[in-house]
Chains A and B, each alone.
Chain A
Amino acid sequence: MTTADLLGKILQVVMGLAVFAAIVGLLVFFIDRAPKKGRDYWQLVGFLAPAIILLAIGLIWPAIRTTGLAFLDNSGNFSWDNFIWMFTQPAAIRTLINTVIWVLFVPTLATALGLAYAVFIDKSRGERYYKALVFMPMAISFVGAGIIWRFVYEYRAGEREQIGLLNAIVTGLGGEPVQWLQTDPLNTFLLIVVMIWIQTGFAMVVLSAAIKGIPTEQIEAAQLDGTNAWQRFMNVTVPGIRGSLVVVLTTISIATLKVFDIVRTMTAGNFNTSVVANEMYTQAFRASEVGRGSALAVILFLLVLPIVIYNVNILRKQREIR
C-alpha cells in the first residue's frame, strides 16, 4: 500500500463519517420542524425508519431469499430435492440427529453445572476468584476453545509419546491410547464437553446474580421452619430464580443450535460429528450447493424460532410481574 492509498482511505473514512453526521443532523432537524399536527407520528417514523430499513436489508430480505433458494436446484428450477436430500441421506439425517443431541445435553448440563457451582460458592470466601475461574472460558473464542480441546484429545499410537492430556492420563494408568475424536458416537459427546466448558461460566454468572436477588427473609423463614439445605434449594432458591433459569436455558439452547466453530475446527464434521450449522456452511460454500445450504438454514431457523418466542414471552411476563 502506498502513502497515497492510505491517505485516500483515511479521507474516505472521514468523509463517510461526515456524511453520516450530516444525514442524521438533517433528519433530526426536519423531525423537529415537522407540522404540529401529527408530530408524534412523524417523530416515530423518523426514529424508527433507519432501524427498520437496516433490519429489512440485513435480516428480513436475506431470510426471504434464503427460503426461496432452499426451493431451487442448482439450475434455478423449483424443486423439493434439497429437503428430500436432507431427510433421506444418511449423512444429512445424522447431522440432524447430532444437532438434537447437542440441544438436549449442552443447555441442561451447562445450566445444571453453572447452578450447582453458583450455589456452592455463594457467599464463600474468595467467591470472586472462583467465579473468574469458571467464567474465563467465556473469553475464549469457540475456534480457540476447539483448538485447545483438540490438543486435549490428541492421539499418538501406542509406542509414541502422548501429547494429548487425556491419552497421557490413559496411558499413564496403563491403558491403551484411544482415538477420541474418531470414536463414534463418543466423539459427539466429547465435542459437547467443549461447549459446556464454555457456557457453564455464563450460566453461573447469571444464576449467581439471581440467587443473590432472593430475599434473605425467605431463606431465613424456611430455615426457621426446619428445612434442610436441599429442601431450601428446591423450594426457595429454584422458584426464586425460575425466570433467570429459563433465560439461561434458552440462550444456551440458541447458541447450541448454531454451533459451528467447534465442530469445524475439531473434526470438520468428519466421523459422524457434523451439525446443522456446520453442514450449512459446507454445503453452501465448499460444495457449491447453495440450495442444500439454504434448506439447512431454513430448518435451523425453524428450530430456533420456538425457543426465541418462548424466551421473549418469559421476559415479557417477568416485566409484568415487576
Chain B
Amino acid sequence: MMTLATRTTPLLALWPLAVGLILFALAPALLNQGLVFLAGLTLVNIVFAQAWNLLFSTIGLLSFGQAMFFAIGAYAMAAGPQQAGGGPFLMWLGIATGLGALAAIVFGIVALRRSGGIYFAVLTLAFAELVHVLITKTDWLGRNDGLTGIYRPTIELGIATIDLTQGDAYYWFMLVACGLASALLWWAGHGVLGRSFRAIRQDPVRAAFLGLDVDRHRLAAFAISGAASAFAGAVSAPWMQIVTPELAHWSMSTKPVLYALLGGAGSFWGPAIGAILFGAVEYATRTMHGIADITTGLMLLAVVLAIPGGVMGLVMTLRARRGATARATPAPHARRPQEQTP
C-alpha cells in the first residue's frame, strides 16, 4: 500500500516465519524420507532466494551470479574439513559464511563503483562463471567430479553434544539454522539499515544528498546477501552429501530469480512462497520425463504473465481492493508489486 515500510514490531511481523517453521517441522512426522529431503532443500532455497531478494527489492541491485556465493559456502563446508582433517562444525559454518561475505566485498569493490543496473548484473554473471571454471580446474575441490563423502557433523557446545548424524537430526538443525537466517535477513531489510537501502533504491542521488554513503551501503547489502547465500550453501552441503561445480553454474543463479518472480519479489515472504511452490511443481512433474522442465517453464511464464507481482503481488492486490471497497476509494493500480510489511 505505502511506498515506505510501515513500522511494526518485528515479533509480530515475523508471524509468516513462525507458520512456515511449524509446517516444515511437521514434515518428518508426515512424509517419507525422500520428501523430507526435498523439504530440507526447500528450506535452503528459501534462504537463498531471500538473500537474492534483499539485493533486488531492497537496494535495487540485480545479481545474476548469486550461485557463486552459494557454491563458495557449499565448497567451504565440503572441502574445508576434508583438507584440514575435521574441526568443529560451527566453526566451518562460520568460515563458509565469512568467505561468502568476503567474496561479495571483493567483488563489490571491483564492480559496484564501476557499474550499475544491467552492467552490474552481467558482471555478476561473469564472476560466477569464473568461480565455476576455477572449481573445475582445482584438484582439491574435486574438479568436474565434485566432492562426496561430506560428513554430517556433531556440534560440541561445551555442556552438551548434539549429534546430527542420526535420523532426522540434521533436518531439525536446518530448520533452526534457516529460520534464524531468514529472521536476520528480515531484520536487515526492515531495520534502520533496510530503510537506508530503500532510500537508495528509490533515488540514489537524493539519498547521497541526504548524507547516505551510497557505495558503502550497496557494499554492505551485497556482503549481507553474499554471506546469507554462502550460509545456505554451507548448510546444504552435509544434507546433499555431494557438491559439484554445477552449484556455481549460471542456471543455479537463475533459481532465486525464478522463486522471486513466482512468489513475488515485492514482499519479503514472496521468494519463500515461490521456492515452496517451485519445489512442489518440480516434484509433481518428476515422472514427466523429458518435458518436466518445459512444463515448469510454461507454468512459470503463465503465472508471471497472469499475475505480474507473483503470488504475494496477487495477495496484496486483493487486500488493497478489499480495503478500497471498504473505504469506497479507487483501488491503487496494482501493476507493480507494492511494498509492504510483511
User: Do the two shown chains form a genuine complex with each other?
Assistant: no
